[in-house]
Structure 1
């Protein structure tokens, strides 16, 4: 399956995610994306710093909690940062970011979606990709 098919079928096709992208774990290339959902190089750099922060109360995570997290030009309040994921909210919408061995999945959900359904969708694809070696 192509990377774009994962975005179109597994994420957006679930009905729980309305925009998504898959980027390399290094943040140097976008493998697939929903049209118009563009995460900038600076935003990816900050996301990677948070995910690579060995102490989840470290400087990158603390900055995300205090200043917010930016994805595709929008500011989100960081609500949960763990070893492999970052969750953020903006009013009734949100983002779920999950790192696999070789990729970072970024899913956005709209105001009519339960956050738990959206995060479960992105986490499930991440689990699948890890099992496949990605």
Structure 2
């Protein structure tokens, strides 16, 4: 399956995510994304630093204090662990999950249930990890 198919079918196609991207774990390239969904290079750099902190450190503290930015929008980071970042902005949110070689960045809208969205993204991450990615 192509990376774009994972975005289109497994994430957006699930009905629990409205836009998503899969980027390299280094944050230096986008492998696939929903049309019009662009995570800026400086946003990816911050995400990589947060995830490298394994739930603690200066990047994590900054994210907890200042939020995580995706497409220029600030999301309040409310859960940061060794492989994921969850954030909210009003009734919308982001789920960011790292696998061995990729980072999944997903956005859910007001009509979505955060728990279902999270489960969808985490399940794809688990699958990619077992597949060696």
Q: Deviations over 1:42-101 (max 9, x none)?
A: 0000000000014x2311111001011101111100010001000000000000000000
- In structure 2, what is the equivalent of residue 81 of structure 1? 80
Secondary structure of 2:112's counterpart equals coil
What SS does structure 2 have at the residue aligned with 1:36? coil
For residues 45 and 118 of structure 2, what CA distance do their matches in structure 1 show?
Answer: 22
TM-score by length of 2: 0.98
List structure 1 segments (4+ residues) > 4 angstroms apart after TM superposition: none
- TM-score for the superposition, normalised by structure 1: 0.98
- Structure 2: gaps of 5 or more residues: none
The equivalent of 1:129 in structure 2 is 128
Output one character per residue of 1:84-132: Cα deviation in whole Å (capped at 9) or x when no partner. 0000000000000000000000000000111110010000000000000
Q: Structure 1 unaligned runs (5+)?
A: none
2:111 corresponds to:
112
Aligned residues: 133
Which residue of the partner structure matches residue 90 of structure 1? 89
